[in-house]
Structure 1
Amino acid sequence: MDGRQKATALIVTGIIILGLNYVALAGFVAGKVEAGVAEQVATGYDEESDYTNDDWNNSTAERVYFAYSITNTENLTENSA
């Protein structure tokens, strides 16, 4: 086999292996996601009320940032240390 044939064989082999991985992994991952969602729904974690207790308070609280209106950057950098 010369170099060109080896390169072609390697490229074809790589494409075949990637294709097989895609086909095998896509079905596996889709099945795992579906099973995970079904389990969460079966255990009752499917409503907003499940996520509004004190543990989730910080993630749903409104946050306001006013960095766009900073006009004294020199003063901030001098006093930040």
Structure 2
Amino acid sequence: MKNISFIIIFGFFIILICLLLMLVILIQSPKKESIHQSFMEKNFRFFGIKRTNTFLEKITWILSILIFFLILSFNFLLKSKHLRN
């Protein structure tokens, strides 16, 4: 019974981090300059957009690494539960 609660918790965290990762990726502005960016005023670019992009890129890497390790541990948890039965 204890392993089932861990499986549910790991599954919940994996789904939550996937949703956060999708949200962070959708928020990021593209690297290439688009038509919309060419019409932006140059003064608007100095209000921290560059820092926000680097912050969002770091969050993307952190969430990606976190989801990788959560999936690995979830796999080991499932294998250990399967071997005990």
TM bin (shorter chain)? 0.3 to 0.5
Q: Which structure has the highest helix share of the two?
A: 2
Larger Rg belongs to = 1
Q: Which has the bigger relative contact order, CA under 8 A and spacing at least 6?
A: 2
Q: What is the TM-score with the length of structure 1 in the denominator?
A: 0.45
